[in-house]
Structure 1
Amino acid sequence: MLEKKLAGRDIKPTTMRLLVLKKLVETGAAISLTDLEAKFERADKATLYRTLKTFEDKKLIHSIDDGTGAVKYALCEEGCECEPQDQHIHFHCVKCGETYCLTGSKIPQTHIPSGFRAASASMVYKGTCANCP
């Protein structure tokens, strides 16, 4: 299944790429490079970063700026091309620090003035997640 996910985005399935993808699938929330590095016993931060950038360039994952100062990464939905119309709302829990993709809630369309061209959009709600009382 992991190999198929990589092949679907034309990404060569190296051992590190498969391990990183497995961690992203298991996590179920967005994850920072530092938190991803902590999940590996031995991993080179530069290799992890290059893996994440490859995944992002091939639109397997997307990056999230949730206002915490650390960019987080999460898996894209099937068919996502990371265009503004594909992007969804995120939720950052102020108690546990997790950031979740709310894939069922797309970022609302906004009128962009003539001459402007949107490359991305971002909307982050902050509060307490269902796992935190």
Structure 2
Amino acid sequence: MDKAKIEDKLNYKNVKPTNMRILVYNFLKNKKVALSLTEIENYFEYADRITIYRTLKTFEEKGLVHSIQENNTSKYILCKEDCDEQLHNDWHLHLSCKICGETTCREEVVIPEILNVKFRIEEIHFSAKGICERCLQELQ
């Protein structure tokens, strides 16, 4: 994705497009798995850990990434277009593979919509541990 498109995307979400934010967004855009702060930091070997952390937290607040809690660690993955500051629409399964360690969004497995309730759900953690398709094939 080119820099101008990323800047437009960040501006649309009311995020100032600094160089680090552009780099982190572009890095995450090319990933299909959720990554921890350490994994992201290792890619940007000369970047400050705090700057990357603040970038991720800003992205999460503005609906650009959602975080997945796994074994006392947060992993981050880009949101779909319909997430915003008010609501993250990541009501799907997050699968953590016990073999390769990758965490992926499984959007084909969704949490059923809860209708006619007198409360508001703001956050749900829907995750599973198992073996992903790639690792399962390698086992056979």
Q: TM-score, normalised by structure 1?
A: 0.86
**Corresponding residue number in structure 1 for 2:108:** 104
**Corresponding residue number in structure 2 for 1:30:** 34
**Corresponding residue number in structure 1 for 2:74:** 71
Correspondence list, 1:27-66, <5 A: 27-66=31-70
In the alignment, the residues of structure 2 paired with residue 120 and residue 23 of structure 1 have an alpha-carbon distance, to the nearest angstrom, of 26
Tell me the secondary structure at the aligned position of residue 54 of structure 1. Answer: helix
Tell me the secondary structure at the aligned position of residue 59 of structure 1. Answer: coil
CA RMSD of aligned residues (A): 2.0
Change beyond 3 A, Cα 1:89–1:6 = same
Identical residues among aligned pairs (%): 44
Q: Does the alignment pair 1:119 with 2:122? A: yes
Q: TM-score, normalised by structure 2?
A: 0.83
Match of 1:88 among 65, 87, 92: 92
Q: Number of residue pairs matched?
A: 131
Q: Does the alignment pair 1:10 with 2:42? A: no
Larger mean CA deviation between 15-24 and 72-81 belongs to 72-81
Tell me the secondary structure at the aligned position of residue 104 of structure 2. Answer: strand
Match of 1:129 among 129, 132, 135: 132
Per-residue Cα deviation, 1:83-118 (whole angstroms, up to 9, x for no partner): 37652211111111110012233222347964x432
In the alignment, the residues of structure 2 paired with residue 102 and residue 90 of structure 1 have an alpha-carbon distance, to the nearest angstrom, of 6
| Structure 1 unmatched runs, 5+ | none
Change beyond 3 A, Cα 1:29–1:112 = farther
Per-residue Cα deviation, 1:17-53 (whole angstroms, up to 9, x for no partner): 0010111112211011011101112011100000001
In the alignment, the residues of structure 1 paired with residue 54 and residue 89 of structure 2 have an alpha-carbon distance, to the nearest angstrom, of 27
